[in-house]
Amino acid sequence: MNTSQAQRVAEDPWRVFKIMSEFVESFDTLSRLGPAVTIFGSARIRPEDPTYKAAQEIASGLAKEGFAVVTGGGPGVMEGANRGAAHAKGQSVGLNIELPFEQRPNKYSNIQVNFHYFFSRKVCLVKYSMGFVYMPGGFGTLDEMFEVLTLVQTQRIPVFPIVLYGSEFWKGLLDWVRAQMVPAKLVSETDLNLVRIVDSPAEAVAIIRDYRRSIGVPDTVPAAFR
C-alpha cells in the first residue's frame, strides 16, 4: 500500500462523520419548512437578464402563496429566486456549496445551509420540496432535472410538478429526447408528460399552487397576501 492509499484508508472513516454531520444539520433545518419548491438555474445569469427577473418573479409569487423557496444558494438564477422570496417576506432557503470559480452565497437567503459534498446537497434540494422549477442553466441544472425525472419515473418520489421555464431554451432538448430516445425505447413517450413547459412566471406558480390543492394540502398564504 502506497502513502496516498494509506492516507485514504485513514481519512475515509472520518469523512463519513463529516457527511453525516451535513445530513443531520440540513435535515434538522429543512424539516421545519412548510410546503417548499426548489428553483434551479444557471449561476452565470446576470441581474439584468430577463431570466434572473423571471426567477425573481416566480419565487415572489410562490412565497405569496405560502411556499418556501429553495435554491442552491449561489449567484445568478439562484440569487434571483432567493431575492424574490425574501422581498415577498417568505422563507428564502440557500443550500450553498463552495466552488472555485462561480459559487458564492448570495445575500438574499434568510435560511442558509452550507455543504462540502455535492451529493448531500443534491439530496436536500429534492427531499423537502413538492415542486421543481428549472430555469435555463448548464450542466448542473440538467443534472438536477434528469435526477428528479429519474426519481419520479422510478417511483422513488411522487409525481411532483416539474416545470421548465422558457420553451425556446428547452425545446431542442425535448425534441432530441423525442427523436432519439423514444424510438430507441430508452424512454417512453409518456415520460415526456412528466414535464410542463411555461413561458410566464404566473403559469409556473399556478401549476404548483394547483398541484398543492389537488393533493389536499391546505393553502398557507401569509396573512399579508390574503
Domain residue ranges of the chain, discontinuous segments joined by +: 3-135+146-158+197-214
Q: What number is the average pLDDT over the span 190-208?
A: 97
Q: What is the mean pLDDT of the chain?
A: 91
Whether 71 shows a pLDDT value over 50: the answer reads yes
User: Who's near 163: CB < 8 A, 6+ residues apart?
Assistant: 131, 132, 133, 134, 195, 196, 197, 198, 204, 207, 208
Phi/psi zone of residue 81: left (φ > 0), alpha (ψ -120 to 50 degrees), beta? alpha
- Give per-residue pLDDT as tens, 75-87: 999 999 999 999 9
Whether 197 shows a pLDDT value over 60: the answer reads yes
Q: What number is the average pLDDT over the span 197-217?
A: 95
Whether 30 shows a pLDDT value over 90: the answer reads yes
* pTM (2 d.p.): 0.90
Query: What is the structure's pLDDT at 9?
Result: 55
- Give per-residue pLDDT as tens, 125-149: 999 999 999 999 999 999 999 999 9
Residues β-bridged to residue 163: 133, 196
pLDDT band at 217 (very low <50, low <70, confident <90, very high): confident
Whether 225 shows a pLDDT value over 50: the answer reads no
Share of the chain above pLDDT 90, in %: 80
Closest CA to 37 of 85, 86, 70: 70
pLDDT band at 226 (very low <50, low <70, confident <90, very high): very low
Class of domain 3-135+146-158+197-214 (CATH, top level): alpha beta
Query: What is the structure's pLDDT at 223?
Result: 46
pLDDT band at 48 (very low <50, low <70, confident <90, very high): very high
pLDDT band at 103 (very low <50, low <70, confident <90, very high): low
Read out DSSP for 60-102? HHHHHTT-EEEE-SSSTHHHHHHHHHHHTT--EEEEEE--SSS
Whether 2 shows a pLDDT value over 80: the answer reads no
